Amino acid sequence: MLPTTSPNSNGALNSRDAARHTAGAKRYKYLRRLLHFRQMDFEFALWQMLYLFTSPQRVYRNFHYRKQTKDQWARDDPAFLVLLSIWLCVSTIGFGLVLEMGVVETLKLLLWVVFVDCIGVGLLISTLMWVITNKYLLKHPSRNFDVEWGYAFDVHLNAFYPLLVILHFLQLFFINHIVVINSGWFLGYFVGNTLWLIAIGYYLYITFLGYNALPFLKNTVVLLYPFALLGLIYILSITLGWNFTQGLCWFYKHRVE
């Protein structure tokens, strides 16, 4: 079968083919699929969510395959984002119930968490990592090799999912029994802070794997350096009796008043 597009005399893609690979074209295709649920592969997205806990390297091997077959690193299917949003909404409602919030307060919390904590902070972190990796971590800076912003956003979503499950779901079962009410007990802040340690550790490690999977980046090991600070803060929190979960609950209640 003949190719539908071909390079011109100097080896570059013609204008029509190049337009298909622009960031705007990819973004339009992604957003368009967001409105067509039947075109989303939710089964594959669930598979990715499972392996982000058990074997995140396998998830990023699929990103390699997408690059080879579709010429882009970032996801072209928003199914993962949709499922993540559902998880976020359900877990936030669970927080509202556990903290005994009313319907209006829970709705306010949901809007805060979705549009500020998830979307706003996610866009900020993704853009920051996109700038840092393209400016400082490229082996050979050129137009042909750069980190796609969409891929940086996908890396954030991948890393955010385990953190969400641990802090917004698993932690709910401890809040009113161990972590918050008995906050003066060692067991209380030990359990809560350990969950925070695991959740943030997952975030850092999966973020590292995401950028380490790109063959044109160098020195990605620097993304593991925050583990030292994380460990130090954890030890200090246990020693001084800080309770991060109690602080989170207070913050959630305060922001919806």
Rounded Cα–Cα distance for residues 39 and 169 (Å):
29
**Could you tell me how far CA 59 lies from the centroid of its own chain?**
13
Cα–Cα distances in angstroms (integers) from residue 14 to residues 8, 10, 11, 168, in the given order: 6, 10, 9, 48
Radius of gyration of the chain (CA): 21
Cα–Cα distances in angstroms (integers) from residue 207 to residues 22, 244, 248, in the given order: 25, 22, 23
Residue type, 199: A
Residue 54: count of CB within 10 angstroms of its CB: 7
Residue 221: count of CB within 10 angstroms of its CB: 9
- The answer to whether the beta carbons of residues 84 and 157 sit under 8 Å apart is yes
- The answer to whether the beta carbons of residues 153 and 74 sit under 8 Å apart is yes
Rounded Cα–Cα distance for residues 96 and 93 (Å):
5
Residue 8, pLDDT score: 45
Q: Which residues pair with 217 in a beta bridge?
A: 138
Q: Where are the domains of the chain?
A: 15-255
Both tokens assigned to 33 = 């699929």
pLDDT averaged per 10 residues in sequence order, the chain, 257 residues:
39 43 59 67 93 94 84 86 93 92 94 92 96 92 81 95 94 79 77 94 97 94 97 96 90 89
